[in-house]
């Protein structure tokens, strides 16, 4: 990605971009903030009555494709992190935190329903973030697409057992 490429795509001059955003890192940060605006709505999460049902209901083709695109963008920006450390925080807030927050809320609801035991208390932060990490690894390192089958496998073979629930419960 270059400033020239962005200017051409925006049908604007490079000088116009540099007046608004003095560096490539600033441009990327601005783009990441815009991406965050179209993310998970925590007030509109599914409520099917089971944790598995809620997690599976989160797997909708538009959200899967959007998630994959965001992770591909993150992969492209990883090389910039050493030169612009603030970009790491912005990427985490825009691409990872919303999905982790949704997972956390769904798990907390399952605990409140008595579906997931709170004795001993599960490590909600760990379980909430591990699925996102697995998805990122698949796209960035293995260069494989996110599929519904893969996401359900994470739910059934990783998330549910980590919370003391049987596979597919």
Structure tokens at 116: 């997931």
Say whether pLDDT at 30 is over 80: no
Q: Domains in the chain and their CATH numbers? A: 47-162 (1.10.357.10)
- 156: CB partners within 8 A, 6+ apart: 52, 167, 168
**Cα angle vertex 82, ends 87, 73, to 5°?**
50
pLDDT of amino acid 151: 92
**Local confidence band at 17 (pLDDT 50, 70, 90 cut-offs):** confident
What value does the CA radius of gyration of the chain take, rounded to a whole number of Å?
18
What is the reported pTM? 0.76
Quote the CA–CA distance of 77 and 89 in Å, as a whole number: 12
**Local confidence band at 33 (pLDDT 50, 70, 90 cut-offs):** low
| DSSP notation for 72-122 | HHHHHHGGGTTT-THHHHHHIIIIIHHHHHHHHHHHHHHHHHTSS--SSPP
Say whether pLDDT at 32 is over 90: no
Quote the CA–CA distance of 5 and 29 in Å, as a whole number: 16
Give the model confidence (pLDDT) of 47-72 as tens digits.
999 999 999 998 876 666 666 676 66
């Amino acid at each position: 990605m270059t400033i020239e490429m962005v200017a051409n795509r925006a049908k604007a001059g490079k000088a116009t971009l540099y007046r608004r955003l003095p560096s490539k890192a600033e441009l990327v940060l601005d783009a990441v903030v815009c991406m965050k605006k179209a993310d998970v709505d925590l007030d509109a999460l599914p409520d099917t009555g089971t944790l598995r049902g809620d997690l599976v209901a989160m797997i909708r083709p538009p959200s899967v494709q959007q998630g994959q695109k965001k992770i591909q963008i993150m992969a492209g920006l990883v090389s910039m992190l050493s030169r612009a450390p603030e970009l790491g925080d912005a990427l985490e807030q825009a691409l990872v935190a919303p999905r982790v927050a949704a997972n956390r809320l769904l798990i907390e609801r399952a605990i409140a329903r008595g579906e997931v035991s709170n004795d001993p208390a599960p490590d909600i932060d760990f379980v909430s973030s591990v699925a996102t990490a697995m998805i990122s690894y698949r796209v960035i390192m293995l260069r494989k697409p996110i599929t519904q089958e893969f996401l359900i496998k994470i739910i059934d073979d990783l998330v549910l057992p980590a919370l003391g629930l049987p596979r597919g419960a």
